[in-house]
Amino acid sequence: MPQSDDPKLRVAILGCTGSIGRQALDVCAQHSDLLEVVALSAHGKTKELVDAARTHHVACVAVTDSSHATDPILAELPKGTELLFGADALAHIVVRDDVDCVLNAVVGAAGLTASYETLRSGKRLALANKESLVVGGDVLMPLARPGQMLPVDSEHSAIFQCLVGEERNPIHAIWLTCSGGPFYGRTHDELAGITAADALRHPTWSMGPKITIDSATLMNKGLERIEAMHLFGVPMEQITVLIQRESKIHSMVEYEDGSVIAQLGASDMRIPIQYAFSYPNRWDAPCSRVDFREIASLSFGAPDMETFRCLALAERAGIEGGTYPCVLNAANEVAVHALLNDECSFTDIACLVERALDAHVREEAESIEQLRDVDAWARSFTAHALKALARS
Ligand SMILES: NC(=O)C1=CN([C@@H]2O[C@H](COP(=O)(O)OP(=O)(O)OC[C@H]3O[C@@H](n4cnc5c(N)ncnc54)[C@H](OP(=O)(O)O)[C@@H]3O)[C@@H](O)[C@H]2O)C=CC1
Ligand SMILES: CC(=O)[C@@H](O)[C@H](O)COP(=O)(O)O
Ligand SMILES: [Mn+2]
């Protein structure tokens, strides 16, 4: 990884207009002596994409939603900037000769192919898109050589950091921390009537809408358990979800001798994003440091899996494995989209996901093409279930 005398790390940021993408651009601006942004993608926010392309003088941009191909603002891209359209554009970006590292900050299963192609190309994958591993971990992990895939998800970055230097020591347990979301402590009845606006008020993190809803249902933690199984090669039962309300402990690893190593820091994603670029080195902090004297207490608890049923459904899908996590994820994406559009209730999300899992017949997860088909089936099934729910 570059130090001050080394060539800069040349980075492509997929999903540069989102919460992670914008913070990654900030990290790149703060460390412009070490990082160079060479390619960017956005789905529909072409104005923001053009602004970022101009600021960072990038060589290539992609607009993955082709319906934006005629946006007049694209004419304001600097002369010579390569402009690509459509979902396939991401695969073109990741194999460019001038890209060393791909930050995948796309939301949802739409990020899967880019992760796959990045690993196949041998380049570093800074992975925020947890859905890639949830859906395709069985296909992706065999492609990743040690140190090639750097997790950006805060908990997984924390676990990764707790494992550095401990390669010869088996993991006894992973303590996967969880804020508990905005509805921590509520009963099932108290979740009725919750609106998308309520669920979008996360207590500790500022994030994009999809992951914020997932945090409120605890599906996010369910997805993260599956993500951790793949990344760290441990079974579900060794990954314990721990409520840590302040989001200051980002996760912990317990070893056989009873020692527990934790990673702590600000609730600011620029730290794990930067670490995925700087590993195995550490650079100057990209955000304010925590003064632990000012934190009155750190509180812990256990999640309520009966009330927050998405966590239990993700456990079921993760243990069953194969194509079940793909179905879990696709059904959840459809249901979360419906909540955000006021087409279903907060508690419907778990019902819709459960129906899709019940209807699915498991297969081994073997290829990206197969997973695309299973994903499409689960989306179509859940869209129909949603319509039936609206009629009932
Ligand atoms: N935000 C956070 O703090 C954290 C996020 N993550 C993970 O990082 C990923 C990104 O999350 P976040 O930044 O919050 O999400 P946002 O919704 O804020 O941003 C998503 C990005 O993906 C683009 N995008 C949307 N749909 C598609 C598509 N179909 N194909 C290609 N690109 C698309 C968007 O483009 P446009 O804006 O142009 O529509 C945008 O650039 C998720 O997987 C999330 O789980 C993990 C840990 C923390
Ligand atoms: C910042 C990050 O990594 C998110 O995934 C975060 O963990 C969400 O908070 P919850 O712990 O509430 O799911
Ligand atoms: Mn996380």
8 A C-beta contact, residue 25 and residue 56: yes
pLDDT digit string (tens) for 220-251?
999 999 999 999 999 999 999 999 999 999 99
Provide the greatest CA pair distance for the chain. 66
Section 278-290 average pLDDT: 98
Expressed as residue numbers, the domain containing 311 is 161-259+299-391
Question: Cα separation of 322 and 361, whole Å?
Answer: 10
Q: Which of 101, 124, 152 is the last residue of a domain?
A: 152
Q: Which of 130, 152, 174 is the last residue of a domain?
A: 152
The rounded Å distance from CA 284 to ligand 2 centre is 24
pLDDT digit string (tens) for 305-330?
999 999 999 999 999 999 999 999 99
Is 129 in the same domain as 169?
A: no
Please, what is the average pLDDT of the chain? 97
The rounded Å distance from CA 241 to ligand 3 centre is 12
Mutate-to-test residue for ligand 2 from 156, 160, 202, 205, highest number of ligand atoms within 8 A of CB: 205
Q: Does any domain span residue 340?
A: yes
pTM over 0.95: yes
Is 370 in the same domain as 312?
A: yes
Torsion sign across C-alpha atoms 232, 238, 239, 245: negative
3-state class percentages of the chain: helix first, strand second, coil last, to nearest 5: 45, 15, 40
For residue 389, give the H/E element and its range.
helix 368-391
Q: Does any domain span residue 271?
A: no
> Residue 3: is its pLDDT beyond 70?
no
Is 133 in the same domain as 168?
A: no
Instruction: Indicate the burial class of 124 (C-beta count within 10 angstroms; 0-12, 13-18, 19 or more).
Output: buried
Of the listed ligands, the closest to the CA of 152 is 1
Distances (CA, A) of 260 to 19, 166, 173, 257: 31, 12, 9, 9
- Closest of 125, 160, 154 to residue 272, by C-alpha: 154
Q: Is 4 annotated as a binding residue?
A: no
Q: Which of 152, 179, 202 is the last residue of a domain?
A: 152
- Which atom number of ligand 2 is nearest to the Cα of residue 155? 3
Is 199 in the same domain as 252?
A: yes
> Residue 66: is its pLDDT beyond 70?
yes
Is 173 in the same domain as 133?
A: no
pLDDT digit string (tens) for 12-59?
999 999 999 999 999 999 999 999 999 999 999 999 999 999 999 999
The number of folded domains in the chain is 2
Q: Is 17 annotated as a binding residue?
A: yes
Query: Is the shortest distance between the CB of 138 and ligand 1 below 6 Å?
Result: no
Q: What interhelical angle do 219-232 and 309-320 show, nearest 10?
A: 30
- Which atom number of ligand 1 is nearest to the Cα of residue 132? 43
Query: Is the shortest distance between the CB of 131 and ligand 1 below 6 Å?
Result: yes
Q: Does any domain span residue 267?
A: no
The rounded Å distance from CA 19 to ligand 1 centre is 7
Is 57 in the same domain as 138?
A: yes
Of all residues in the chain, the percent with pLDDT exceeding 90 is 97
The model's confidence at residue 391, banded by pLDDT at 50, 70 and 90, is confident
Q: Is 157 annotated as a binding residue?
A: no
- Report pLDDT for 368: 98
Dump the DSSP string for 178-215.
Answer: E---TTTT--TGGGTT--HHHHT--SS----HHHHHHH
Is 136 in the same domain as 192?
A: no
CATH of the domain at 81: 3.40.50.720
* 95 CA to centre of own chain: 21
Q: Is 179 annotated as a binding residue?
A: yes
Instruction: Indicate the burial class of 79 (C-beta count within 10 angstroms; 0-12, 13-18, 19 or more).
Output: exposed
Q: Does any domain span residue 313?
A: yes
> Residue 389: is its pLDDT beyond 70?
yes
The model's confidence at residue 392, banded by pLDDT at 50, 70 and 90, is confident
Is 141 in the same domain as 208?
A: no
Is 170 in the same domain as 194?
A: yes
Q: Does any domain span residue 171?
A: yes
Distances (CA, A) of 8 to 40, 57, 107, 170, 312: 17, 15, 27, 35, 44
Is 170 in the same domain as 108?
A: no
The upper half-sphere exposure of residue 222, i.e. CA atoms within 13 Å in the direction of its Cβ, equals 30
Question: Cα separation of 224 and 28, whole Å?
Answer: 26
Dump the DSSP string for 97-111.
Answer: TT-SEEEE---SGGG
- Report pLDDT for 2: 53
- Closest of 85, 148, 103, 62 to residue 274, by C-alpha: 103
Is 117 in the same domain as 200?
A: no
Q: What is the residue with the minimal CA distance to atom 3 of ligand 1?
A: 207
Q: What is the residue with the minimal CA distance to atom 5 of ligand 2?
A: 153
- Report pLDDT for 390: 86
Q: Does any domain span residue 234?
A: yes
- Closest of 328, 339, 173, 200 to residue 256, by C-alpha: 173
Q: Does any domain span residue 71?
A: yes
Two tokens, residue 105: 């900050």
The rounded Å distance from CA 34 to ligand 3 centre is 26
Is 98 in the same domain as 191?
A: no
Q: Is 57 left (phi over 0), alpha (psi -120 to 50) or beta?
A: left
- Report pLDDT for 4: 54
8 A C-beta contact, residue 330 and residue 375: yes
Q: Does any domain span residue 282?
A: no
Q: Which amino acid is at 46?
A: T
DSSP 8-state code for residue 151: E
Q: Which residues line ligand 2 (CB under 6 A)?
A: 153-155, 178-179, 181, 205, 211, 215, 220-221, 269
> Residue 1: is its pLDDT beyond 90?
no
Two tokens, residue 389: 């729910």
CATH of the domain at 250: 1.10.1740.10
- Report pLDDT for 246: 96
Question: Cα separation of 11 and 6, whole Å?
Answer: 15
8 A C-beta contact, residue 243 and residue 161: no
